[in-house]
């Protein structure tokens, strides 16, 4: 029996997958459900949600169960300020962003006279009321547009809907690269806020990106929650498109795949064999085709992993030899700390609660 494939993220006129955002309901968190002491840019918890942070306080990011009542959401993304920065320097910034592949955006017809409008809708909550900025960045053509919204009531879930005109200049590249970013500003130094807010599409000017943005980093009491992020073509917002958990997970695994997570010690997670007496090969197939050939992300420490073969365990600290990394599979191993019999097969298990093995193909 033929198995139908999951449609891609941007299919014109399709009743399903109209939401260009992946993991907008914040249900998938492969890396961790909470990360503390964050001071720099990176991916930390919720899949597909990149934190931009430059010298603007310290934060804990987490997958929260605080959600708008009666809307069907189980999770939100929470930012919690743990070290404040009430006087940011000119180049400081603080934002959340979602990066999108150009090949998923071709139906938006950007760069033509028929360019589609974009509407973003989301639920948001913060004790820090005031003006916030939501920006689109066209990375391929260095263009952008920003609009403001207001958090009116402290610590109250509010739904926001913002529509942006289509951009008739600059087509998105038809490839798997970073073409469009949806940016939620949370704080901005004067380099990003001293001009006039760019409410129409144009060449990106940093000073015009986040004019009027409040500073969520100015007090350790500050918190920010967001969920239900939906981006769709057109001038109106439809109800949030809930996808089955397994479908949402597979879409996230195109960009990041957790083969082994922390806390899964004493767990066999991959098979392999002694290529020679001092060299093990291991192989894994990815659950979906990854966006690009990934990089290996892992923890290491004394005997974090053990290759069990022919009734004996062979401990090693990390996978230190990357043999072949493709979009569908990876072969890798260790060639400095193992000793066995060439040709013998075996399995690897983790022997430390801090062990993890991930594959990263993020934009």
Of 220, 253, 286, the residue that ends a domain is 253
pLDDT digits (tens, 9 = 90+) for 116-125: 999 999 999 9
CATH number of the domain residue 81 falls in: 2.60.120.260
SS3 assignment, position 191: helix
Q: Is residue 19 part of a domain?
A: no
The pLDDT of residue 9 is above 70: no
- Number of structural domains (the chain) is 2
pLDDT digits (tens, 9 = 90+) for 88-124: 999 999 999 999 999 999 999 999 999 999 999 999 9
Calpha distance 32→298 (Å, rounded): 14
Q: Same structural domain for residues 180 and 97?
A: yes
pLDDT digits (tens, 9 = 90+) for 305-325: 999 999 999 999 999 999 999
Calpha distance 140→100 (Å, rounded): 11
Q: Same structural domain for residues 245 and 283?
A: no
SS3 assignment, position 314: strand
Q: Same structural domain for residues 195 and 264?
A: no
Q: Residue 137: which pLDDT band, with cuts at 50, 70 and 90?
A: very high
| Total-model pTM | 0.95
Q: Same structural domain for residues 247 and 260?
A: no
Q: Is residue 10 part of a domain?
A: no
State the residue range of the domain holding 283: 256-360
Q: Is residue 4 part of a domain?
A: no
Q: Is residue 5 part of a domain?
A: no
Of 211, 228, 253, the residue that ends a domain is 253
SS3 assignment, position 148: strand
pLDDT digits (tens, 9 = 90+) for 142-182: 999 999 999 999 999 999 999 999 999 999 999 999 999 99
Q: Is residue 26 part of a domain?
A: no
Q: Same structural domain for residues 168 and 71?
A: yes
Calpha distance 3→107 (Å, rounded): 26
Q: Same structural domain for residues 268 and 247?
A: no
- As given in the structure block, the two tokens for residue 206 are 């940093």
CB 357 within 8 A of CB 318: no
Q: Same structural domain for residues 179 and 115?
A: yes
Q: Same structural domain for residues 210 and 272?
A: no
Q: Same structural domain for residues 125 and 179?
A: yes
Q: Same structural domain for residues 192 and 299?
A: no
Q: What's the confidence (pLDDT) of residue 1? A: 38
């Amino acid at each position: 029996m033929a198995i139908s494939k999951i449609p891609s993220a941007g299919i014109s006129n399709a009743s399903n997958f109209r939401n260009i955002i992946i993991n907008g309901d914040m249900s998938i968190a492969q890396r961790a459900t909470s990360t503390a002491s964050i001071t720099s840019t990176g991916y930390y918890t919720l899949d597909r949600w990149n934190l931009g942070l430059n010298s603007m306080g310290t934060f804990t990011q987490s997958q929260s169960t605080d959600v708008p009542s009666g809307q069907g959401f189980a999770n939100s993304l929470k930012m919690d300020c743990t070290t404040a920065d009430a006087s940011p320097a000119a180049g400081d910034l603080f934002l959340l962003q979602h990066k999108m592949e150009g090949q998923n955006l071709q139906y938006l017809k950007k760069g033509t006279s028929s360019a589609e409008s974009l509407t973003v809708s989301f639920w948001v909550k913060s004790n820090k009321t005031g003006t916030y900025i939501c920006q689109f960045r066209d990375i391929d053509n260095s263009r952008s547009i920003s609009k403001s919204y207001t958090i009116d009531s402290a610590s109250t879930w509010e739904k926001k809907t913002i529509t942006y005109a289509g951009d008739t200049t600059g087509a998105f590249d038809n490839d798997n690269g970073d073409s469009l970013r949806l940016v939620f500003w949370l704080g901005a130094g004067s380099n990003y806020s001293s001009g006039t807010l760019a409410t129409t599409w144009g060449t990106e000017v940093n000073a015009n990106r986040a004019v009027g943005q409040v500073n969520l980093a100015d007090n350790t009491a500050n918190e920010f929650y967001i969920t239900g992020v939906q981006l769709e073509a057109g001038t109106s917002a439809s109800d949030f498109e809930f996808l089955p958990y397994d479908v949402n997970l597979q879409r996230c695994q195109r960009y990041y795949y957790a083969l082994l997570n922390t806390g899964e010690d004493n767990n066999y997670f991959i098979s392999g064999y002694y290529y020679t007496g001092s060299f093990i090969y291991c192989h894994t197939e990815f659950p979906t085709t990854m966006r690009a050939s990934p990089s290996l992300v892992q923890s290491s420490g004394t005997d974090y992993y053990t290759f069990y073969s022919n009734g004996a365990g062979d401990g090693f600290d990390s996978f230190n030899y990357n043999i072949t990394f493709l979009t569908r599979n990876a072969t890798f191993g260790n060639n400095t700390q193992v000793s066995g019999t060439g040709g013998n097969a075996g399995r690897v298990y983790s022997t430390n609660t801090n062990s993890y093995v991930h594959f990263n193909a993020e934009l």
